[in-house]
Every structure is written in structure tokens, then in C-alpha cells.
Amino acid sequence: MNVPLLDLKAQYLTVKAAVDSALSEVMESQHFILGPKVEECEQAIARYSGCSHAVGVSSGSDALLACLMAENIGPGDEVITTPYTFFATAGAIARVGATPVFVDIDRTTYNLDPSGLQAKVTDRSRAVIPVHLYGQMADMDPVMWVAERHDLVVIEDAAQAIGAEHKGRRAGSVGHYGCLSFFPSKNLGAAGDGGMVVTNDARRAETLMCLRAHGSKPKYRHRMIGGNFRLDAIQAAIVAAKLTHLDDWTASRQRNAERYDGLFAASGLEIVENDTLCTSGQASSTSSTGRGESAKESPHVVLPRVVTDRHVFNQYVIRVPRRDQLKAALYARGVGTEIYYPVPMHLQECFAYLGYKAGAFPESESAANETLALPVYPELTDRQARYVVDCIGEFFATSA
């Protein structure tokens, strides 16, 4: 059986009429840069995210960059974030000349561990970028407490978490900025690159609108040095057309996650909680098999754990021993998987100048060695999900 990691063709068939109509409107208007379709999309995304303003930009990466530029963050400044994330988070910090400062992740959620945040604040700290990884919000209350105490700007990297919620607040609405991505593989994807910044601050929104157009307002009068960060009207039209389906797609992702949970529980594999494992990946107590094997060696699976009000499951990520061998075995059986992310930021070659060594952030390094994303897209069938879990069970049964 073929089970891709993501099936965009299947999704397109469900929205083809609406998307094609939106594209036709843009082509008929020949208005491709900003304009009414972008404004329509901005207003819809702002409402959906529980914010008063939204500014369409060229990508999720440029959303992060524009927010840092809007705050005049640059050389000599420090920005605190997680080492376990997509490169754009730390990359944007470095691109403005600031220094990324890392805080290790929480083992359960894979998000920034706020208990380590206070210790990383210095007199050079200007901002903190928590990442809502895999579709579940980071613990924002302690992040905001530290930020308010030290006058730090909070930029939520919500690229994987549009519509995620906790304590009545949506991803992107808690900090000073929320950065969204419409990369095609996201829960709400465009037909190429696209992004959005949401905020409840009118002044910040106005600054971003100026920055995305080379810092000009009015045209050809440049108040600041910006960039070409504009969202194309074609991408905005597609995103707006698909937005009306997002809640249904999210519900399907959540059902698929619950289905996986049940299938794994019935699979005969040992299900282990993340918090029963030590940082090294070894079991902190005797396993439920009674053999006293280390969790690293026994055929166990750690399932995603929902600790917030609304996890939108951009990814369904398990944690297993012999991860790379399992990935290869699943590929041979036609199952698409991905590793998000195999090398933490502090161990990337381009960040060697920061001076971090292996072992600096053990939770991030452990996750990088053990996590694997399984197909969870809305159109995934019960038969496909069962096949995925059966293949994993067979791998551990034959390789134990």
C-alpha cells in the first residue's frame, strides 16, 4: 500500500471549484500584488486567529524577519528561542545580525521549556520567539511573565499552529506578534510560499505594512529600510478560499491522531510516556514488560501528548528507538515519513560561531535522534492508518 506523508492532490479535489474560482477572479482582475484579495485574506485570518490586525507577507520565514526588523533588533542584541525548530526561526535572528540564544525544550510537548527562560535573559536580550511546534501551543503564560518583567518582545512562531488554542487564546494572539506560514504542507497551505503576521497592536501592524514594501509610505517615499515581503494576490486568494475548510480539516487531523492512539494501544507494542524516559533516552524505571530493559532498547513507542485545549496536528510525531532503521523500513513498505528535525540549531554548521557543543541541550538532541512524523493529513483513510501501525509493529517484532 502507498501511504504518502501528505496528499495535496486529494485535498485539492475537495476544494477545486472554490480555488479555481478564486484564481479566475485574480486573473480577470490582473491585480497580482497586494490589493483587495490580500486585504480580504488578511481580515479573514485576523478574525480566525483572534487578532485585530493581520499583514500578509511573502513567507513564514519573512514574517519572522519582518517582525525583528520592525523592532529594530540587530547587532549586539540577543533573541531567545528553541534549538529544536525549523531553521527559519534561528535563521531570521542571525539575518538581522542579532545573536540566537537557545533554551532547551520540554520533553512532553517539544516546545520551549519556559522554566529555562529566565536564566538566559541578559541586558542584551530584546525578544523571545517561542515556537508552537507540530500544532500545539507552547506554554505562553510563563513566557509572557518573563517577557513583561524584562521588557522583551514576544514573537510567536505559529507557522505550524494556525487555529491551535490554549486557555481561550489562539496561536499568534498572545504575544506582540504571531507569525503564520502558508507553505503548501501546512494545515492551511497556499500554492507556493506565503505567510502572515497577526497582531493586536495597530502601530506594529502599520510598521509591518510599510516594511513589506521596501519601507515606503507613500509610494517612493521611504520611511525605513524594508524589503520585498509582499503576499501575492494569487496566494492570498487560494488561502482565503481554503480557510472555510480549515476547521473541518483540523477535525479530521484530530480524528486521525485519535485513531493512531487507539491502533497503537491495540498493537501489542509497549506505549511509553515521554516523561518516564530520562534525557539520555533510557527508561527511568522498570518497563511494563517487567524485563527491566532500557526504553532505548525495548520496542516501545512514545505517542504525542495533548496538554493544551486544541492541538491542530500539523504533524503526528512518535518517538521510537532505532528511528532511522524504522524510517527506512517504512519507506520500503510504501509509507512516507519525515524527521522534524534531525539536527538541532545549536549543532548546525552555520551556527558553530555560537560555541555550543553536543550535550548543551540534551532534550533537543534526544528528540532529534528519536522522533518520526507519520502521515496525518485529513484525507488519510482508516485502512491506511492501520497499515502504518501494522508496519511499525512488524518492524519491531522482527528486529527485536
| 2 in a structural domain | no
In this structure, what CATH number is given to the domain that contains residue 350? 3.90.1150.10
Q: Is residue 77 part of a domain?
A: yes
Same domain, 311 and 355: yes
Bigger pLDDT: 152 vs 294: 152
Answer with the one of 223, 244, 265 that is the final residue of a domain: 244
> How far is CA 148 from each of CA 90, 119, 127, 128, 151, rounded to the nearest angstrom?
22, 15, 11, 11, 5
User: Lowest-pLDDT range, 34-48, 61-75, 271-285?
Assistant: 271-285
What's the structural domain count of the chain?
2
On whether residue 3 sits in a domain, the answer given is no
Burial of 392 (0-12, 13-18, 19+ CB in 10 A): buried
Q: Do residue 259 and residue 373 come from a single domain?
A: yes
Report pLDDT digits (tens) over 190-211. 999 999 999 999 999 999 999 9
Q: Are residues 275 and 357 in the same domain?
A: yes
Give pLDDT, residue 297.
57
Q: Which of 251, 314, 300 is nearest to 272 (CA)?
A: 300
Provide the pLDDT confidence category of residue 127 given band limits of 50, 70 and 90: very high
> For residue 280, what pLDDT band results from cuts at 50, 70 and 90?
very low
Q: How many residues comprise the chain?
A: 400
Contacts of 1 (CB under 8 A, 6+ apart): 333, 334, 383, 384, 387
54 is a domain residue: yes
> In terms of Cα–Cα distance, which of 37, 380, 337 is closest to 190?
37
Residue 21 belongs to a domain: yes
Residue 253 and residue 238 in one domain: no
Q: Is residue 366 included in any domain, yes or no?
A: yes
pLDDT at 298: 74
Do residues 102 and 129 share a domain? yes
pLDDT score recorded for residue 261: 98
pLDDT value for 291: 31
Q: Which of 88, 115, 92, 112 is nearest to 102 (CA)?
A: 112
What range does the domain containing 97 cover? Answer: 8-244
143 and 210 belong to one structural domain:
yes
What are the phi and psi torsion angles at 390 (to 5°)? -60, -40
Q: Is 1 within the bounds of a domain?
A: no
Ordered DSSP codes for 342-392: SS-GGGSGGGGGG---TTSSHHHHHHHHHEEEEP--TT--HHHHHHHHHHH
CATH number for 18: 3.40.640.10
* Segment 225-243 mean pLDDT: 97
β-partners of residue 53 are 199
How deeply is 99 buried, as exposed, middle or buried, from its count of CB atoms within 10 A (0-12, 13-18, 19+)? Answer: middle
Residues 238, 260, single domain; the answer is no
Q: How does pLDDT run across 156-174, given as a tens digit for each residue?
A: 999 999 999 999 999 999 9
How far apart CA 174 and CA 189 sit, in angstroms, is: 23
Q: Rounded to an integer, what distance in angstroms lies between the CA atom of residue 295 and that of residue 93?
A: 37
- The three-class DSSP label of residue 53 is strand
Per-residue model confidence (pLDDT) at position 399? 80
What mean pLDDT comes out for the span 290-306? 68
Q: Determine the 3-state secondary structure of 117 from DSSP.
A: coil
Are 210 and 318 part of one and the same domain? no
pLDDT band at 400 (very low <50, low <70, confident <90, very high): low
Question: 303 is written with which cell numbers?
Answer: 505517542
At residue 47's C-alpha, the angle toward residues 45 and 48, to 5°, is 60
